[in-house]
Amino acid sequence: MGLKIFFFGVGLCAQALIRRTPASEPSGTARSDARVAALRRAGVDAYVFDGARADDGVEAALKRAEAIVVSIPPQGGGQGPLDCFAEAIAAAPNLSRILYFSTVGVYGEHGGRWVDETAPTLTRETRSLARLAEEARWTEAGRAAGAAVDLMRLPGIYGPGRNALERLRRGEARRIVKPGHVVNRAHVDDIAEVARLVLERGLPGRIWNVADDEPAPPQDPIAWAATLMGVPIPPEEAFETAGLSPFAASFYAESKRVSNAKAKALLGFAPAYPSYREGLGALWEAGEGRDA
């Protein structure tokens, strides 16, 4: 029998991990009855949990879990998984590991310099501060349950249905330029591969940066996607005059280059998509960015 994994939030990353661990026995949560029904048809033992409502089967599934993978971001109003299921998690008899998907945003502004897992967390952004607090809560929850906790800090995630090719196809892509600003990104399959390695290697819990090898300005993947599609490259727009909302502008407030060297050294991780060029190229070949 495979590893019994419970997923708080069966989203893009969780589904990629499920595909990558076909021998596992997945269970988990989704926010709607329709989504739960679709997951059950796909072989996932799924239950509704939306912060306000939880199906009765959630606690029983947690009791069976050997690993928990958390994709649900911090919830306003205190209705996240730990607010509702801390006792069930602490009492899970076979639980040995918790993976919490966090964000590289917790490192904050580093002026474009390289950061690894030992870098100070300098963020002043509200959502990243909430992530730091949630990292601490899950670390404590693991301690209470006697389980190792791995904090997986993720950059911008892309993959099927969520990429520059699709934004171009929908006419939503903008090339906003802030000189000196660079970011990492990660293909969802590479995120799933690091998670698989963490689950299988059984190392003591720790922090992992999951990122590609080539930090780049955010306008560059859009230009590459347009080249693949054979469509005009959207014009550059200056950040200062782009008219971004405060939320959108916040993504340009911090610049850093995130190192994945630790995952390579300790897990043997080798990115299938070391830059956006390989990732977008594979997505284009798979049919992304084309009209239905």
Question: Which CATH number do you get for residue 201?
Answer: 3.40.50.720
Q: What is the pLDDT of residue 291?
A: 82
Give the C-alpha separation, 18 to 251, whole Å. Answer: 30
Residue recorded with tokens 């080798």: 270
Number of compact structural domains in the chain: 1
Give a yes or no: residue 235 inside a domain. Answer: no
Give a yes or no: residue 247 inside a domain. Answer: no
Give a yes or no: residue 108 inside a domain. Answer: yes
Bridge partners, 99 (sequence order): 69, 150
pTM: 0.96
Per-residue pLDDT of the chain (292 residues; tens, 9 = 90+): 689 999 999 999 999 999 999 999 999 999 999 999 999 999 999 999 998 899 999 999 999 999 999 999 998 777 899 999 999 999 999 999 999 999 999 999 999 999 999 999 999 999 999 999 999 999 999 999 999 999 999 999 999 999 999 999 999 999 999 999 999 999 999 999 999 999 999 999 999 999 999 999 999 999 999 999 999 999 999 999 999 999 999 999 999 999 999 999 999 999 999 999 999 999 999 999 998 5
Give the C-alpha separation, 239 to 218, whole Å. Answer: 11
Residue recorded with tokens 């780049």: 216
CA Rg, the chain, in Å? 19
Give a yes or no: residue 123 inside a domain. Answer: yes
Token code pair at residue 169: 């196809």
Give a yes or no: residue 151 inside a domain. Answer: yes
Q: What is the pLDDT of residue 267?
A: 98
Residue 71's domain spans which residues?
4-159+186-213+257-272
Burial zone of 47 (CB within 10 Å; 0-12 exposed, 13-18 middle, 19+ buried): buried
Give a yes or no: residue 27 inside a domain. Answer: yes
Q: What is the pLDDT of residue 1?
A: 62
